[in-house]
Amino acid sequence: MTVIKWNVRAGAYYDSVVLMQLQRGLLGLPGVVDAGVVMATQANRDLLAANNLLPDSIAANPDDLLIVVKANADSSATDAIGKVDELLTRRKSSNSLNSQEDFRPRSLSAAVKQLPEANWVLISVPGRYAAGVAREALELGKHVFLYSDNVSLEDEIALKKAAREKGLLVMGPDCGTAIINGIGLGFANRVRRGAIGVVGASGTGTQAVTSHIHKLGGGISHAIGTGGRDLKSDVGAITAHQALDVLARDPETKIIVLVSKPPSPDIATQLISAAMETDKPVVIYFIGHPPPARKIGNLQFAISLSEAAEISVGELEDSRIEHSRLETRDSKSLREVSSLYLRGLFSGGTLAYETMIGLQAFLSPLYSNSPISDSQILSDPLHSRAHTIIDLGDEFFMVGRLHPMIDNDLRIRRMRQEAADPEVGMLLIDVVLGEGSHPDPAGELVPVIKEIREKRIGELEIVAIVIGTDDDPQNLQSQIEQLKEAGAIIFRSVTEAVEYISLRCSRYTPNTYPPVNLEQLKQPLAAINVGLESFYESLTSQGAQAVHVEWRPPAGGNEKLATLLAKMKN
């Protein structure tokens, strides 16, 4: 028979290390079978309940500290609860043995005075206080490594926008990992320095990639974390864009790896366009995002963390770098129709789909009647918007009508309609040969291609994907020749066409914000740590200069009082 006793402490602040140590202390007391020391959120109460540590009668608010002890006798439980204060004090006194304790600053501004060369502030205080500390760090002109989670999206956006205006980085919130100039911040593996730079909207993603690069003999210049939400629409990959830009300017970084948790498609597209503009090979792995191709220009797409590492190290070893740079330069000369829209008019549904998969990485906004995601749905299939891919063989068009592989009437009308739109710079069509199809599709399409190209004021490029074999009844070579003669650019697979179009049509909006200072990034890392003391210890053990702030929440964690004080201050 076991007995449960508990103690609720209203609105007091304790850091997570203290709570863990208190729990372990309680577990070490005689007769104690189990113990829980948690902030009384619903999730934590549920966890206690799952461990049979939550009697029904406990009333506590989410801000309250809840201490529960399960013992094999009533007296043991009572004794244990009675020792809580002593255990908390013991923790404090063991702390004060630390010789540095007396010299520790109690505020960020005091810490800056102690270590003025610190360019970085590591923040791991509880989420509800983290944004305030980060704001203060930015005001002091410091980059922020924001480990804390449970920071609101609004705060994240505001912090990142404020940082961007000053050329500062906010890595996080919920940023687990970074390696700056050889020093790991937060959770980071010890890896050799080298030529591969990493931008990671993903903590363990960055850890897995950098560890694997190290194992394969490669090394890391810098690994810049962004927090897992950076590539969501609301945030707009502010930090990832800054990080990509500074690594692109860093001469010691020869190859860049971009890793992210599932991104918002439009944001992924913008970041990929920016990556395409760099002069460096960029290896991209966006988890859960189907890769558009293996390689397009200077970009390579991986399908796993370990493959991202393997590609980047292989790229270095093969010394293909010069080669890739050349390709990049070539591809830039293709950018002429970039301010105009693409309209794709397909007879093959799967070809339309595969084209969407490929182009969604590069073109935005992109619409279709065979969309990959809901945001791409073209509400009126008869009228295109921005970049559009139409599957003309969709059931919608097919009642009482022959398939567009047999009858081109519908497509020809639509080609004229699209060509009449001055915002359209490229028409993409598929020409599918073989049994059952029209005996001479080029014969029908060529006059229209010629007609719309003649009528057209300004550039209009026609790209055709021709699917067929040399044995097909239509005569593959003659079909291709006719289309080429009319001025169409011919590809034999969706993949090839996607590569061409993405190099030619993707739009990059140049960054007009102050750049992150590269020279500062390359200085020996010095940092101020606010929150988990273990991160301070990790910094110093790696040889970095660091100061730990003896942080306490405003008004001792009493939020009503803190709000009042903040109001009085303003």
Q: What angle do CA 297, 349, 270 make, to 5 degrees?
A: 35
Among 25, 176, 194, 236, binds its own copies (CB under 8 A): 176
Distance CA 300, CA 236 (A): 22
Query: Which is nearer to its own copies, 236 or 468 (by Cβ)?
Result: 468
The answer to whether 208 contacts its own copies (rule: CB under 8 A) is: yes
Token digits of residue 21 = 């140590």
> Nearest CA to 268 among 386, 177, 373, 131?
373
Q: Measured from the CB of residue 201, what is the shortest distance to its own copies in angstroms?
A: 9
**Which window, 40-48, 156-164, 247-255, 561-569, contacts its own copies (CB under 8 A)?**
40-48
Rg (CA), the chain: 30
Token digits of residue 104 = 């520790």
Query: Which is nearer to its own copies, 203 or 337 (by Cβ)?
Result: 203
Query: Which is nearer to its own copies, 58 or 518 (by Cβ)?
Result: 58
The answer to whether 478 contacts its own copies (rule: CB under 8 A) is: no
Between the alpha carbon of residue 367 and those of residues 355, 362, 385, 389, 518, the distances in Å are 12, 13, 7, 6, 39
The answer to whether 413 contacts its own copies (rule: CB under 8 A) is: yes
Looking only at residues 432 through 471 of this chain, which bind its own copies when binding is defined by CB under 8 A? 432-437, 467-469, 471
Among 95, 493, 523, 563, binds its own copies (CB under 8 A): 493
**Which window, 135-143, 210-218, 326-334, 545-553, contacts its own copies (CB under 8 A)?**
210-218
Q: Measured from the CB of residue 524, what is the shortest distance to its own copies in angstroms?
A: 17
Query: Which is nearer to its own copies, 140 or 526 (by Cβ)?
Result: 526
With the CA atoms of 529, 531, 532 and 534 taken in that order, what torsion angle do they form, in degrees rounded to the nearest 10? 20
Looking only at residues 498 through 557 of this chain, which bind its own copies when binding is defined by CB under 8 A? 532, 534-535, 538, 541-542
Query: Which is nearer to its own copies, 80 or 337 (by Cβ)?
Result: 80
One-letter amino acid of 248: A
Looking only at residues 18 through 37 of this chain, which bind its own copies when binding is defined by CB under 8 A? 19-20, 23
The answer to whether 52 contacts its own copies (rule: CB under 8 A) is: no
Distance CA 320, CA 358 (A): 24
What residues pair up with 12 in beta bridges, in sequence order? Answer: none
Whether omega before 553 lies within 30 degrees of 0, making that bond cis, reads no
Query: Which is nearer to its own copies, 197 or 468 (by Cβ)?
Result: 468
- What single string gives the DSSP state of each residue in 284-339? EEETTS--S-SEETTEEE-SSHHHHHHHHHHHHHTT-HHHHHHHHHHHHHTTTSTT
Return the H-helix or E-strand segment holding 220. strand 220-225
The answer to whether 377 contacts its own copies (rule: CB under 8 A) is: no
Q: Measured from the CB of residue 33, what is the shortest distance to its own copies in angstroms?
A: 13
Query: Which is nearer to its own copies, 4 or 405 (by Cβ)?
Result: 405
Looking only at residues 81 through 120 of this chain, which bind its own copies when binding is defined by CB under 8 A? none
Contact 522, 76 (CB under 8 A): no
The answer to whether 307 contacts its own copies (rule: CB under 8 A) is: yes
Contact 205, 287 (CB under 8 A): yes
Query: Which is nearer to its own copies, 191 or 389 (by Cβ)?
Result: 191
Size of the site for its own copies (CB under 8 A): 113
Among 142, 164, 222, 261, binds its own copies (CB under 8 A): 261
The answer to whether 203 contacts its own copies (rule: CB under 8 A) is: yes
